[in-house]
Every structure is written in C-alpha cells, then in structure tokens.
Amino acid sequence: MTSSSPKILLLGKDSQLGWELRRSLSTIGPLMACDRQSVNLENADELRSQIRLHQPAFIVNTAAYTAVDKAETEQAKAYQINETAVRILAEEASRLGSWLVHYSTDYVFDGEKAGPYTEEDRPRPLNVYGHSKAAGEVAIRDVGCKYLIVRSGWLYSVHGSNFPWAILRRAIERDQIEVVADSFGAPTSAHLVADITAAMLGQLNSLHKPEELSGTYHLTASGETSWYDFAQFLLGLAHNRGLPIKANPNHVFPVTGASYAAAAIRPKNSRLDTSLLRDRFRVYLPDWKLHARRFIEEVARSRLL
C-alpha cells in the first residue's frame, strides 16, 4: 500500500467507538461516516451498494447488535447483524481488495481461563451475543479478505451507555450501591481503541506488504481490576471532584455476579493478552486508570452530571 490518503467508510458512527473514530480516523484519510439511516446492516442490498458506491480502502465497522441480554430472545436479529452483515462486509472488502476493520469482544470466551486470553485461545462463548460475535469473526476469516479483527472489552465512553455512567447514575440516586466483585478485566475507553485503530491504519497505509499484518488482535488498556474496584475508583474521583453523588467509595458493597438475575451469562475473566498487538504495531497501551480519570474529568468539566 502507498502512503497516499486512503478512503475510509465508517459504519456505526454514533456507537461509543464510532464517535471516537470519527475524530481519530479523520487524520488518516477522507472519512465517510454512516449511521443506521444511511446504511442498515440488516439490508444486504443497501450494504453492498453503499460499499460499491464509495469504494473505500478501509471499511471500519463498529455497528453491531450489542444488547447482550436482549440477544437471548432476539437471536435471529443478533446473528443477522453480527454474522450475516459482517460476512457481506468481508465479501465486499475482498471484491475491492480493501481492508475490513471489525471489532469483536472478550465475550467470545467463557472466562474460565486462569490468565489473560491470547488470540490463540479457542472461543467458547457463554451467551447468544458472544456466539453471534464469534460467528462474525469466523465469517471474515472464511471469506479471506484482508482484515483486522480487534477484540476489546469493558468499553466505555462519555458518549454512550456503559458501566461508568451506570455507576454514576446509581450513586446519584442511592446512598449505597452493590457492584459485582468476582469479574475481572481492563476498563477500556473508546477513545483509546479509536486512537490505536488510527495508529494501526496509519501503519498499514505506509507498509510495503501490509497484508502480513492481517489478523486478530486483542486491544484493551493495560492493568486489570474488578467491576467493584473500578466502581470504587470512579466514585472516589467523582467525590473528590465534587460531583453530586450520594454514594461515595465507602458505600460500595461487593456482590457476586451470580446474585444478578441477568438474562445472559457473562464471563468472569475478561482479561485479554495484548502483547501481539503491542509487538506487531509497536503501540503503547496505558494503564486503565489514565482514561478512567479522564472520563470523570470530562464529565465534571462538561457539567454532564
């Protein structure tokens, strides 16, 4: 690939990740950012025709069926968006000789491993969402286009529905809250995933044989924590910053994941080994606390609470 500016088609521009990618990919090449109204992943013809119309060098797909509990009863829809549409993206990328950049999840694993999961570990999802995302990955590899499958976990952003916002909202309403303490992972900001994606695309665009980097990569912040410790950390920062919360870190109580009656089972171990990504793309992944601090700072400065 030459170092000219490649055309990028971004799908899911209003997802947590899509919002951040709109910023970080804008320095890589001309960006065509689409939402569900302009490209619906459930409409195969529309999907194909939009890709053929724009002929992007990179198709970056953040759009997905992400309602983990609802997926248990909307199986067909989850597979339609997370597998069938992804296969079409891969086929169109292959036809054009383009790259497909697609995001996947720690939920492809069952969380039973003692240490962090590597890209070599076999997926074994526990819920429909995880199965559908794993099926999307298989579809991309089956088609055989040039691809980056970027698996992340515990994703959050100031723009979106996620764990930090749920904790802040609960802490405003109640003077004590319960949080799951037996699940472990690395809270990862969409901001970080977007910046690293841009760095990856920048490298692909400048290499003589970028296809050698085609593959699956784990991308999370460094370090690890539990949901419980993460909640305490966030509320400590929020308390110190004077945000209007009733529950401070001393009012957070640990519970087991099993005590939550959610429709979908979640993996307890969401830790992903990121060494392959760091080695091959020479990127630095900061500790999760860095972006968690930034999250609270952004909420406070923008008066979002």
Ligand X SMILES: NC(=O)c1ccc[n+]([C@@H]2O[C@H](COP(=O)([O-])OP(=O)(O)OC[C@H]3O[C@@H](n4cnc5c(N)ncnc54)[C@H](OP(=O)(O)O)[C@@H]3O)[C@@H](O)[C@H]2O)c1
**Residues 6+ positions from 95 with CB-CB distance below 8 Å:** none
Residue closer to ligand X (CB basis): 161 or 250: 161
- The number of C-alpha atoms within 13 Å of 47 and in the hemisphere containing its C-beta is 23
Measured CA distances, 182 to 185, 268, 294 (Å): 10, 7, 25
Q: Least distance in Å: CB of 9 to ligand X?
A: 13
Q: Is 129 a catalytic residue?
A: yes
Instruction: Determine the residue type at 208.
Output: H
Give the pair of three-digit tokens for residue 36.
Answer: 């569900």
Residue closer to ligand X (CB basis): 129 or 233: 129
Is position 132 an interface residue for ligand X (rule: CB under 6 A)? no
Phi, psi torsion values for 173, nearest 5 degrees? -80, -35
Is position 103 an interface residue for ligand X (rule: CB under 6 A)? yes
Q: Give the H or E element holding residue 260.
A: none
Q: Least distance in Å: CB of 188 to ligand X?
A: 8
Angstrom distance (rounded) from CA 182 to CA 227: 8
Candidates 25-33, 149-157, 234-242, 254-262; binding stretch for ligand X (CB under 6 A): 149-157
Angstrom distance (rounded) from CA 267 to CA 128: 13
Where does 153-265 show beta strands of DSSP type E? Answer: 155-156, 177-180, 184-185, 188-189, 215-218, 225-226, 252-255
Binding mask 16-35 for ligand X (x = CB under 6 A): xx------------------
Which of these is catalytic: 129, 147, 217, 228? Answer: 129
Is position 105 an interface residue for ligand X (rule: CB under 6 A)? yes
Q: How many residues bind ligand X (CB under 6 A)?
A: 24
Residue closer to ligand X (CB basis): 76 or 176: 76
Residue closer to ligand X (CB basis): 127 or 152: 152
Is position 194 an interface residue for ligand X (rule: CB under 6 A)? no
Is position 125 an interface residue for ligand X (rule: CB under 6 A)? no
Binding mask 173-192 for ligand X (x = CB under 6 A): -----------------x--
Phi, psi torsion values for 209, nearest 5 degrees? -125, 70
Write down the residue that tokens 């909420």 correspond to: 299
Contact residues: ligand X, CB under 6 A: 12, 14-17, 36, 40-42, 62-66, 81, 103, 105, 133, 152-155, 160, 190
